[in-house]
Amino acid sequence: MGKQSRQVTILELIKEHRVGSQEALRERLQHRGINVTQATLSRDIRELRVVKVQDAEGTPRYRKREEWENAPPLATLLPLLFLSADGAGNLLVVRTTYGGAKAVAIAIDSEEWPEVLGTIAGDDTILVILKDARDTPVVECRLSELTGNSC
């Protein structure tokens, strides 16, 4: 099977099923007769712009980024998923509920704040990279205000 057919199958699987990990996705592909390495699957996920987000039940699952971009904005997500933020230099570590980091990171990136260079997300932790150390308290305060707290 070629790359294009494999990627179409990946999109079908994540649309039809709640797939929450690369291993689960790889197993579903195997059930369809498609054997793929973890490296190839990671590359396909990146090329397809597939992201892991938390669904309404709090379960992580893969979705097309375009589908998620139509989801609630940061101001809606943050009060539900945010736990804390702590900065050092031009880095800000944001803690979320388990499975919420990728969704919040995508929402932060989509805000296109001028102070933010980008984010890196794990399952419950986001590293926000800022242009300047002076921007850290500004962004930390902005996130706090979006959760309904003061600075």
Which has the closest alpha carbon to 120: 109, 136, 133? 109
pLDDT for 57 equals 59
Per-residue pLDDT tens over the stretch 103-146: 899 889 878 899 999 999 999 999 999 999 999 999 999 999 99
**First CA to last CA across the chain, in angstroms?**
54
Which has the closest alpha carbon to 100: 114, 111, 89, 84? 84
Write down the pTM of the prediction.
0.56
In order of start, what are the domains of the chain with their CATH numbers? 3-69 (1.10.10.10), 74-146 (3.30.1360.40)
Largest CA distance in the chain: 55
Torsion sign (Cα): 10, 54, 117, 42? negative
